[in-house]
Amino acid sequence: MSSATILPTGAPSLSTRDATTLTVLFDSESATALHPTIPINPSLPSNPQYPSSILSHIKSLEHSAIEISLTNPSLALEPFNTLLVAYPLYASGYNNRAQLKRILKHPSADIKRDLQLAIKIATGTIVDNEISKCMQKVLQNAWSQMGIVFMAENDTEKAVQAWMEGAKYESTWCRRMAARHNPVARLCGMIVKDAMRREMGQGEERRVEVRDNDGRAELNVQCGYTLVSLS
For the domain that residue 90 is a member of, what is the CATH number?
1.25.40.10
Average the pLDDT over each of 109-123, 128-142, 192-206 and give the range with the smallest value: 192-206
- What residues contact 191, with CB distance under 8 A and at least 6 apart? none
Does residue 36 carry a pLDDT above 80? no
195 in any annotated domain: no
Q: Tell me, yes or no, whether 219 lies in a domain.
A: no
**pLDDT confidence of residue 181:** 83
Closest CA to 154 of 191, 110, 198, 108: 108
- Is 163 within the bounds of a domain? yes
Number of structural domains in the chain:
1
Residue 23 lies in a domain: yes
pTM of the model: 0.68
Q: Report the pLDDT value the prediction gives residue 224, as an integer from 0 to 100.
A: 27
pLDDT value at 206 more than 50: no
Average pLDDT over residues 113-125: 96
Q: Indicate whether 96 belongs to any domain.
A: yes
| Residue 100 clears pLDDT 80, i.e. is over it | yes
* pLDDT at residue 197 in the model: 62
Between the ranges 21-35, 60-74, 192-206, where is the mean pLDDT highest?
Answer: 60-74
Confidence of residue 204 (pLDDT cuts 50, 70, 90): very low
Mean pLDDT of 159-173: 92
* 6 found inside a domain: no
Range of the domain at 88: 18-33+44-186
pLDDT for 231 = 22
Q: Is the pLDDT of residue 220 over 60?
A: no
Does 147 have pLDDT greater than 90? yes
Residue 68 lies in a domain: yes
Query: Mean pLDDT over all residues of the chain?
Result: 75
How large is the average pLDDT for residues 207-213? 36
Q: Looking at the domain assignment, is residue 143 inside a domain?
A: yes
